[in-house]
A and B are shown apart, each in its own frame.
Chain A
Amino acid sequence: MGEADLAVTANPLQRIPGVAIVLLLLIAVFGVLAPGFVSAANIANVLVQSTLLLMLSLPMTLIIMTEGLDLSMGAVLTLTSLMVAIVSVATGSMVLGFAAAVAVGLAFGIANGCLIAVLGIPPFVATLGTLGVAQGLALIVSDGQSVVGIPQSVSEIYSATLLGVPVPIVLAVLAFLIFHGLLYHTRFGTYVFALGGNREALTYAGLSPTRLLIGVYALGGAMAGVAGLLMTARMNAGHPTAGLGFEFDAIAAVAVGGTSFERGNGWLGGAALGVLAVGVLRNGLNLMALPSSIQVASVGALVIFALFFDGLRSRS
């Protein structure tokens, strides 16, 4: 759903994306029922808690637009988070730790891209495989234990503020703007759309879909590296299982946000709203102190409902 599509439909209700309606509903309900939901501190919390998922959902949107999937993101995130921890502890430098994380993330991203674009292995399988490799490496380099003693320069990333705004939020907004610009205002962006809907056109134009595809997955890997820094800063530690499962959350957020698995369309704004919806849901339920089993079931219900709602509107 590019920006243009929103204007075409006749019914005004159809112009508002399903995820936005869901998000507004959640905010309304929790505003009334959850104590402390509407406070500045809580809003800041929800936004900051969502930054990690946003960092992963942005590249995941692009990947899904190319009719692909990256199941390894959570495991790669775990590994890069460990790299930040191990390298920054060994060298005392946050910058070196960050560089190591991005390097490892890029390596996995490129590996994913090669497996998929060069060897022709389906994305689900290829990234399932690299998930195992990343998870295994995370266990091996950490020997199953948390890595602590992180220099303060790292944890400050999470707690510091820039003009009163928490740094993670600044980074998230920056990342969103960069991806938005990349997707909608550069040629690379048009190529990504083409990778999803019209791959032949790229070859006719003399471009290499292979290299572009590798680029898209490499982007995912690099963002996993950035997210790794944030995660280690947040925990003030590296842990071998901390990030596992994030990829499913990211995929769900992207799908909830309106990006389709089949067509080559994608909506970054939707992915961001999807991330917020999940974050608001969790936060609201925590504040209401509802039993955890209800929290678990609601996440599933949210995902199903959002897509059902979208399906309804696109058919009428």
Chain B
Amino acid sequence: MSVRETIYASLTVLAAVAISTAARADGETIAVFTKNQTNPYFQAVRVGADAAAKALNAKTLHYIPTKPDSIPEQLSQVEDVVVKKTDAIVFIPVDYKAMVPSVEKINAAKIPVVNVTDRSAGGKFVSFVGADDYSLGLETARYLFKKLGGKGNVVIIEGVKGSLTSIDRVRGFNDALKENPGVKLLASQPGNYQRLQALQVMENLMQSHRQIDGVLAANDAMAMGVIEALEGANRTADVTGINGTKEAVDAVKAGKLLATGDYNGFLQGCVGTMIAIRSLRNEPVLPEIVLKPTVVTKANSQPYETPIESRACPAWDEASKLGRN
């Protein structure tokens, strides 16, 4: 090429780069929908979303129902966001079936949306980022049964009746039971994912059953309630939870809780938001990232002890490999 042609070519390339970077460093707004303000899991998701947005120069807006887990409220919030027209949405449905019309509204408004945690029963999403409740339940239960040497009496404390996470986790527990015929299931009662309820249910179960060797709790709050009940009655049993909250990790380190299934809210929030931002910037994404099931035990608890506020969101190359495929 002649000198002039080279100069023109370089100027054009420079101009193109300038325009595209200006378009990219945009400060997009991402609306993040979570279920309630009280469950630390959703706080972790929100912190993760904020971390990802900050790293990528975008902004998050949080939408949480004022009445915890309220379907009508989330419906209204979606309608309001559609009017407001944020650039993208990261969505945890309060109910995976009832929120489908809302997702369809979002689709009709042509706002890209990423599904996180609870897999919605319908609607079009850019991607799904979540953990596999079933595998988490299965692996956690397998760990407990291994510790019990394949035999003993166990009870299951279920979550909220009808919630997808509870259904899948308990299904995992039950399949692990099938693999271990020497383990006997004494009872399976719901604790509503609530600490006090699980405590009282466990207290009552301990009355009807003299010997309980293991307890599978569908989440950490209930597992902690079970531990309080056991300590109060001066009995011991191996207890597992699911969520990987700081409190549970501390308890695992202290030897009070046997293990907890890692339901990494921080990671789900940050990867989900990353995908939303990337799709807005026309960067490649994956249609689904299902985190590998990890059971947090005394042996591997170290990395989980970092508080969520200090954690950093992994870069895309690393994040894209987190899925099970």
Contacts and interface: CB of A to CB of B under 8 A. Distances in A.
A295 B66 contact: yes
B76 A146 contact: no
B83 A39 contact: yes
A148 B97 contact: yes
Contact size range, B: 20 to 34
Contacts of A263: none
B64 A292 contact: yes
A245 B63 CA distance: 20
Interface stretch (B4-12, B48-56, B67-75, B227-235): B67-75
Contacts of B13: none
Contact of A36 (B67, B77, B83, B98): B83
Interface stretch (A98-106, A170-178, A209-217, A234-242): A234-242
Nearest to B72: A242
Interface string A38-75: 01011001000100100000000000000000000000
Contact of A237 (B83, B84, B98): B98
B161 A139 contact: yes
Interface in A18-50: 35-36, 39, 41-42, 45, 49
Nearest to B86: A289
A301 to B, nearest CB: 13
A296 B76 contact: no
B162 interface: yes
Contact of B101 (A234, A286, A293): A234
Contacts, number: 94
Interface in B198-232: none
Nearest to B76: A49
Interface string B93-125: 001111111000000000000000000010000
Contact of A292 (B37, B71, B76, B160): B37
A286 B81 contact: yes
B79 interface: yes
Given A234-B75, A292-B37, A292-B64, A42 B101 contact: no
Contact of B98 (A143, A146, A293): A146
Given A245-B67, A289-B61, A295-B66, A239 B98 contact: yes
A246 to B, nearest CB: 8
A279 B67 CA distance: 14
Nearest to B85: A36
Nearest to A150: B101
A52 B121 CA distance: 25
A291 B98 CA distance: 25
A77 to B, nearest CB: 10
A241 B163 CA distance: 11
B321 interface: no
B62 interface: yes
A144 B75 CA distance: 20
Contacts of A144: 160-162
A142 B83 contact: no
A282 interface: yes
A6 to B, nearest CB: 32
B79 A239 contact: no
Nearest to A240: B162
A45 B98 contact: no
B283 interface: no
B62 A291 contact: yes
A237 B67 contact: no
B100 A237 contact: yes
A-B CB proximity, top 5 nearest: A144-B162, A144-B161, A146-B97, A292-B64, A286-B80
Given A245-B70, A286-B63, A292-B63, 14 more contacts: A35-B84, A45-B80, A45-B83, A142-B162, A146-B98, A235-B75, A236-B98, A237-B100, A239-B71, A282-B66, A287-B80, A292-B64, A292-B66, A295-B66
Interface of A: 35-36, 39, 41-42, 45, 49, 52, 139, 142-146, 148, 155, 231, 234-237, 239-243, 245, 282-283, 286-287, 289, 291-293, 295-296, 299
Interface of B: 37, 61-67, 69-73, 75-77, 79-81, 83-85, 95-101, 121, 160-162
14 contacts: A42-B80, A52-B72, A143-B162, A144-B161, A145-B97, A146-B97, A146-B162, A235-B71, A245-B67, A282-B66, A292-B37, A292-B66, A293-B37, A296-B66
